[in-house]
Structure 1
Amino acid sequence: MLFYHSTSSKNKNKIIKSSMIVPTKFDITKYLDVILPNFDGTLKVPEIVKGQRMVPYLGEGVYCFDNYNSAASYQVNNDVVTIEYDDKCEKIDLDNPIFLIKLDNYLNEEFDDELNKKFLDEDVKLGYKVLKNTILYYIYDEKNFEKVFPQMFAIIIFLLYDFRNKEEPDVFFRKFSVCDSPYFVIKNERKIESLC
């Protein structure tokens, strides 16, 4: 399977030379620690908190596309790295209605129990509950949800996997309104077979 990563020519040369691609890093736990104690359910949460970069839409990982043209036109003066990836990978489509139903089920049926087992301050737990309810409220109103809070999908991935200490699937993808093609994020870099 092929993915295409948009980058500068200078970075492309480094990636090819080293046979390594540096994933986007982001400490979502630190971000949530800052916003949750005062989270009131409004969707206007900060895209950035002090000392961190902007929240990446799908969290940490290697961002790419599944077609060359989308990667080539993603930014001005860019180059494209082709990523050969293991065909036997687990991919999760965040637009898939079945995924949204599973998310709804988890948040309604399991989330509060898991939250209560965590050693967190009560104001942070309350923030998580408000966050859960915000996700549930907007989960089926995606277009409005994404317009105001596209980084919520990084938080959703965190809640479903890291928060529960579950291993993430290899790849997530979703179509965002800012791009013609779906964004892909590679979470499992060990399945990258080659870079060229």
Structure 2
Amino acid sequence: MMNTYDRPHDPLGWHGTTILCVRRLGPDGQMQVAMAGDGQVSMGQTVVKGNAKKVRRIAGGRVLTGFAGATADAFTLLERLEAKLERFPDQLERACVELAKDWRTDRYLRRLEALLAVADKDRSLLLTGQGDVLEPEDSVIGIGSGGNYALSAARALMTVEGLSAEETARRAMKVAASICVYTNGNFVLETL
């Protein structure tokens, strides 16, 4: 089975997600987490929607999530993640591992095509349908059509002292929107 992130050609032509998660020490010396997502959904060369909300809070606002891929599939996975977090409160990594196991082995779930970026006050994780739960070394995650552009810009901005996680994410998303035709400048940005 091929997922959206390794499919050579999308027959429907759906594109249009850029999700970025940045974790860094802020100017005040406190750890900050910011997750941003653009609002564009495209089908082929047509923008279908410009204000989609692909970043949201779950688990009583303690966890930030962003998704790329099929929206209904992502919502199904987010519901499952919330259930895992209810079962394992304040244990994001364990909840994500449990979800990844289900996602990979359950006949229904393994057909879901999405990527999830999730973060709480302690961790930032990337979840895939291949059973991966990855924590990046540099505390930056980028997924979706413009994810690599935003990721590259954020990594470069991590060397700039005095920037907050929010400002780093905002600037990196602007770079991605200026390069990727499937990314617009209508961002939703959440912070912890």
Per the normalisation by structure 2, the TM-score is: 0.27
Higher strand proportion:
2
Higher helix proportion:
1
Per the normalisation by structure 1, the TM-score is: 0.26
> Computing the radius of gyration over CA atoms, which structure comes out larger, 1 or 2?
1
